[in-house]
Amino acid sequence: MSIVKINALTVPAEQREVLEQRFASRAGAVEGSDGFEWFELLRPVEGTDQYLVYTRWRSEEDFQAWMEGPMKAAHQGGGGGGERPKPAASGSSVWSFEVVQQAAPKPQG
Ligand code: HEM
């Protein structure tokens, strides 16, 4: 079964807009990475102040391969060096999970 990697971002209130804007103009490269299955940027509503970057992968190896290559590019603002804007997040930690069960809606009709 798949694995889930969540990057939990601590974002000061006045930086939320900046963070969401940065994701709105993200590289979009992860979609083409081998073994990539899903991405969501989750905005906190209740119970936490952390934004979650939810990613789901076919295997740990696929995630590691993305981390070593495409992720670095995707986190350099697309410019590959040069002026990197100050990060919107003041902290981050990566959480790892294995998918134990899953369900999707039954096809209708
Ligand atoms: C040092 C910790 C990290 C911080 C502060 C951070 C923050 C960000 C920000 C602000 C963006 C928007 C694009 C940009 O401005 O560069 C981004 C893109 C992204 N981040 Fe992170 N990130 C970190 C590490 C990670 C990790 C470990 C993962 C994996 C769970 C991850 C998953 C993603 C994905 C999937 C994208 C979109 C890339 C694309 O469109 O190709 N990030 N991240």
pLDDT attached to residue 79: 43
Which ligand 1 atom lies nearest to the CA of residue 6?
A: 30
Classify 30 as helix, strand or coil.
helix
pLDDT attached to residue 85: 72
DSSP β-bridge partners for residue 36: 57
Q: Which of 75, 84, 95 to mutate to test the pocket of ligand 1 (most atoms within 8 A of CB)?
A: 75
Question: What distances in angstroms separate CA 57 from CA 6, 22, 70, 80, one per listed residue?
Answer: 11, 23, 14, 25
Mean pLDDT by 10 residues, the chain (109 residues): 97 96 93 97 97 98 95 69 75 97 94
pLDDT attached to residue 76: 75
Q: How far apart are CA 66 and CA 70, in angstroms?
A: 5
Report how far ligand 1's centroid is from the alpha carbon of 108 (Å): 35
pLDDT attached to residue 74: 83
